[in-house]
Amino acid sequence: MLEEMKERHDKDHEVVQNRISKIQKKVDTNAKFVIGAGAVLATLVEVLQVVPPLVKLLTPQANAAIIRPANP
C-alpha cells in the first residue's frame, strides 16, 4: 500500500513539474514579446520626436506676397 502511494505521489509530482515547465516556457515567450514590443514603441517615439524638427529644417519658409492691381 505504501509503495502504491509512493508511485502515485511520484507520478503526481512529475505531472506538476511538467505543468510548471510548460507555464514557465509560456511566461518566457511572453516576456520576450513584451520586451520586443517595448523596444519597438520606444524607437517609434524617438523617431517621431526627431522627424518634425527635421521637416521644419528642410522645408523652406514661404514668404507672403501681396498682388496689387496695376495703377492706371
Asked if residue 38 is part of any domain, the answer here is: yes
Asked if residue 30 is part of any domain, the answer here is: yes
Number of folded domains that form the chain: 1
Helix (H) or strand (E) run with residue 11 in it: helix 2-58
Asked if residue 48 is part of any domain, the answer here is: yes
Range of the domain at 39: 26-54
Asked if residue 43 is part of any domain, the answer here is: yes
Asked if residue 6 is part of any domain, the answer here is: no
C-alpha cell at 41: 514603441
Please state, in angstroms and rounded to a whole number, the distance separating the CA atoms of residues 59 and 19: 60
72 pLDDT higher than 70: no
Average pLDDT over residues 6-19: 96
What pTM does this model have? 0.57
32-44: pLDDT as tens digits: 999 999 999 999 9
Asked if residue 72 is part of any domain, the answer here is: no
